[in-house]
């Protein structure tokens, strides 16, 4: 099974969202863009700005936690731009 680590961006909020999933990324994005109570449910303009595939859930979660620990928008943008 393939797991994805991903970064979404909302232009309306000017915010990034960092997450991981085992489902198809298109399906996960669709769910983020529906009206629900979570952070991403406030708007429906989320786009995938970065994605990595991982062979295990552990790898995807570790990568998510690593990037979240940066607490730096600058480093996040640099990661996204490097893969441009």
Between CA 3 and CA 15 the distance in angstroms is 23
Residue 84 scores a pLDDT above 90: no
- The CATH number given to 3-83 is 3.40.1440.10
What's the token pair of residue 74? 């600058």
Mean pLDDT over 71-79 rounds to 95
pLDDT for the residue numbered 45: 97
> Can you read off the two tokens belonging to residue 70?
């940066």
pLDDT tens-place string over residues 14-61: 999 999 999 999 999 999 999 888 999 999 999 999 999 999 999 999
C-alpha to C-alpha distance for 28 and 20, rounded to whole angstroms: 9
Asked if 33 and 45 touch (Cβ cutoff 8 Å), the reply is yes
The model scores a pTM over 0.95: no
């Amino acid at each position: 099974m393939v797991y994805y680590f991903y970064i979404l961006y909302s232009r309306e909020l000017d915010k990034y969202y960092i997450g991981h999933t085992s489902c198809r990324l298109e399906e996960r994005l669709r769910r983020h863009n529906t009206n629900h109570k979570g952070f991403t449910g406030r708007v429906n303009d989320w786009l995938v700005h970065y994605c990595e595939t991982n062979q295990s859930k552990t790898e995807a979660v570790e990568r998510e936690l690593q990037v979240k620990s940066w607490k730096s928008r600058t480093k996040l943008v640099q990661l996204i731009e490097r893969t441009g």
